Amino acid sequence: MNKLYFLLFLSIFSAIYLGIHYYVYYRIATGLILSSQSRLYIRALFLFGAFSFLAGEFLTRQADFRFIRIFAYLGAVWMGIISIALTVLVFSDLLRVFFKSDKFNFYAVVVSLIIVVVLSIYSVINVLTGPSIKHIEIKTNKLPDNTGEFSIVHLSDLHIYFMNSDKLLKKIVNKTNELNPDVVVITGDLIDADICHLKESCRVLNSIKSKYGVFAVTGNHEYYAGFEIFMKIAEESGIKVLCNDSVSIQGIELAGINDPAATGVPESGLNLKKALSMCDFKKPVILLSHQPDIFDAARAEGVDLQLSGHTHAGQIPPMDIIVRFYFKYPHGLYRKGNAYLYTSAGTGIWGPPMRTTSRSEIVKITLKK
């Protein structure tokens, strides 16, 4: 990532992040009418929690020790709790427009904190249970006569880095292999850091089994971690990366485009026309795109099915609300005419190891005549 861009991002993120902490602290302190000494203790807790996430993100990229992983995990959970608390307290503030008494303010904060605790515990458990398996069938008359059906397992947004356990990755790979797919596709954000020395992760990825191979496209995080690093990991893991390119597989045209974050990178940015230039549109054309909202342009070019990720379905409030407003195709299966799009909620997670309104997922898509 460009250093100037990173510093700008870090500055904006830190200002918003610390501002959220102050708002949550202020609502709790004033709503519960806490003493000055109690407020001091809570301020200390909030400051420690805020910087534990930032410190954890930094430390896990410098050393791989168990206590650092635990510290970083707790910091990430804290970030998720604060995010959920922000959402719940904002809703309680909206109610205060109609109920302005101190008594209501007190009980609104108490109930809000109970809701935050319940949602936070649920969100952590929801991730710990692992990804769900989703089955989708799509009919197309473009399949060759000698192909009764064609199955694709869609993975997205695994965000492999030092905090992820190989145990979870093995669980994902085992579930994928049990689905016996014709092809496995990964629609971006496979990695979140330079994990070249984590040979076990590459070995686990290399154990993905499918009849015609594993294919991937870049997401924005591939460029943050480093494109060359990603390509090296993909090679060691037996993954074929489609960079504005396509390949023919058993009567299927599989194309992939770079993420827009590639702008300014020597490998060039997103180029949909180039990716589709060699496709035979008499066959089913499947496009891999990390971000979903190129679907309208892809459909106009003749794409039959687009597979995407990136949104994570928001993971936790308020991001799940923001995602639904920001993206035209935030999560799930969409159809326009004879063209389909599936936006995955993601097989992994980013940031807080929590999900409130969605599940991590492995999606098996079966094309049938």
Q: Are 144 and 367 in contact (CB under 8 A)?
A: no
Q: Are residues 358 and 289 in the same domain?
A: yes
**Which of 128, 147, 164 is a domain's end point?**
128
Return the H-helix or E-strand segment holding 94. helix 66-96
SS3 220: helix
Strands 285-288 and 305-308: parallel
> Which residue from 308, 303, 272, 304 is spatially nearest to 291, judged by alpha carbons?
308
Cβ atoms of 290 and 189 within 8 Å: the answer is yes
Same domain, 209 and 225: yes
Same domain, 250 and 177: yes
- Matching residue, tokens 């409030």: 317
DSSP single-letter state for residue 223:
H
pLDDT of residue 192: 85
In a domain, 314, yes or no: yes
What DSSP string describes 263-319? TTSTT-S--HHHHHTT--TTS-EEEE-SSGGGHHHHHHHT-SEEEE-SSGGGSSTTH
Residue 342 lies in a domain: yes
46 occurs within a structural domain: yes
Answer yes or no: is 201 within a domain.
yes
Strands (E), the chain: 132-139, 149-155, 183-187, 214-217, 239-241, 245-249, 252-256, 285-288, 305-308, 332-336, 339-343, 361-368
| Residue 3 belongs to a domain | no
Same domain, 202 and 175: yes
Give the model confidence (pLDDT) of 67-110 as tens digits. 888 888 999 999 999 999 999 999 999 998 888 888 999 999 99
Answer yes or no: do 153 and 282 share one domain: yes
Rg (CA), the chain: 22
Which of residues 61, 94, 128 is at a domain's end? 128
Take residue 196 and report the two structure tokens written for it.
């070249």
Cβ(157)–Cβ(259) under 8 Å? no
CATH label of the domain that carries residue 215: 3.60.21.10
Indicate left, alpha or beta for 196 from its phi (over 0: left) and psi (-120 to 50: alpha): alpha
Do the domain assignments include residue 2?
no
Residue 309 lies in a domain: yes
Residue 27 and residue 146 in one domain: no
**Strand arrangement of the beta sheet that strand 305-308 belongs to:** 245-249, 252-256, 285-288, 305-308, 339-343, 332-336
Per-residue pLDDT of the chain (369 residues; tens, 9 = 90+): 556 776 887 788 889 999 999 999 999 999 999 999 999 999 999 999 999 988 887 887 776 677 888 888 999 999 999 999 999 999 999 998 888 888 999 999 999 999 999 999 999 999 999 999 999 999 999 998 887 899 999 999 999 887 776 788 999 999 999 999 999 999 999 998 777 666 688 889 999 999 999 999 999 999 888 888 899 999 999 999 999 999 999 899 999 999 988 766 655 788 999 999 999 999 999 999 999 999 999 999 999 999 999 999 999 999 999 999 999 999 999 999 999 999 999 999 998 999 999 999 999 999 998
The number of distinct structural domains making up the chain is 2
Whole-model pTM: value is 0.92
**Structural domain boundaries enclosing 344:** 132-368
Phi, psi dihedrals of residue 112, rounded to the nearest 5°: -60, -45
